[in-house]
Amino acid sequence: MPVALWRAGLLLCFLGFCACLEEDCVLGVLERPVVLPCLYPKLLSFVNFTIEWRRGDEVVLRSVWELNKNVEELSVNSATISSDAARTGNFSLKLPTVDVQEHKINYSLFIISEEDHSDALCTVCLMLAASFSSPLLQREEAAHGGETAFLCHSSGGFPEPAVHWLINHTEKPPEGSVRTQAASLPDSHLYNITSHLMVNISKDSIVSCTIENLSMNETMTSTSYGTRGSPVVGRASEAMWIFSTALSAVVGIMVVAGVAYQIHLDRISKRKKKEFQEITRGHKRRHPNLEEAEVMTTQSKETDV
């Protein structure tokens, strides 16, 4: 009996160890560099050897080392390893970019012996992810007390995300009221996600849609605040209305003041012009012969000329 228990425990430990290995994957973000780790210090004792990094059965990098120097290297898609790998034992593979089709693909490092026999030194699982766009939430009010329709859309992410709806921040929608569709784009294999909610709620209800990308550890939420509007947006709108009203009042006062000042200047100009004309006429009445003398003087100058 103890032997059977020991064997069962050993089997469970082995299965648990295998499960841990399967979960021990490297996360790569699409269109960004990623490093697949492989530390193998035993190769430090080797003088001449050849290694290969393979993606499944495809060779992505082949490196020939002689006297701890890399004398030849063939690479696919610019994959590289460290130039001092033979001195440090760090044979990690650096990929400048990754494609979504490589999701959950195993990369393995092999050493090639003189007998053309290869042994796997490292195996790394590659998992990929990409961020989704911020969800766009649209609301269509129901007519005559019917159901209200909501549409939540997000695009360009990977893998397929989880979508969560909440009503008034705490209530989950009724069962069967949510319909979610994920479409994989044919060119990039990224996902567009669209979720529909049909529910009978009041116009003042608050509804939120959350896009959860577990691989990227990202959660993005968009909220519809109903007819009452967001308190922040409401206060901002009220402040903007007050500012616009005050600005209009100030502009109006400035315009009125400008017009009044211009009328005042016109009145002063007319008064001065009138005073000047009266002074001129009074001067002529006091000196009736002055104008005649000025005319004779002008005629005399012209005769002399």
What's the pLDDT tens digit per position in 90-99? 999 999 999 8
The whole-angstrom separation of Cα 86 and Cα 65 is 8
Query: pLDDT-based confidence at 83, cuts 50/70/90?
Result: confident
The whole-angstrom separation of Cα 31 and Cα 242 is 48
Query: pLDDT-based confidence at 185, cuts 50/70/90?
Result: confident
Query: pLDDT-based confidence at 280, cuts 50/70/90?
Result: low
> Does 294 score more than 90 pLDDT?
no
Q: Model-level pTM greater than 0.85?
A: no
Q: Percent of the chain scored above 90 by pLDDT?
A: 43
Exposure b/e, 27-36, CB count within 10 A at least 16 = b: ebbbeeebeb
Listing DSSP states for the chain in one string gives -HHHHHHHHHHHHHHHHHHHHHH-EEEEETTS-EEE--B-GGGGG-SEEEEEEEETTEEEEEEEEETTEEEEEEESTT-B--TTHHHH-B--EEES---GGGTTEEEEEEEE-TTS-EEEEEEEEEEEEBPPPPPEEEEEPPSTT-PEEEEEEEEEEBS--EEEEEETTTBPPPTT-EEEEEEE-TTT--EEEEEEEEE---TT--EEEEEEETTTTEEEEEEE-GGG--HHHHHHHHHHHHHHHHHHHHHHHHHHHHHHHHHHHHHHHHHHHHHHHHHHHHHHHH-HHHHHHHHHHHHHHHHH-
| pLDDT tens column, 125-174 | 999 999 999 999 999 877 666 889 999 999 999 999 999 999 999 999 99
Q: What's the average model confidence in pLDDT over 29-56? A: 89
| pLDDT tens column, 46-81 | 878 889 999 988 999 999 988 877 788 888 889 999
Specify the pLDDT at position 193.
96
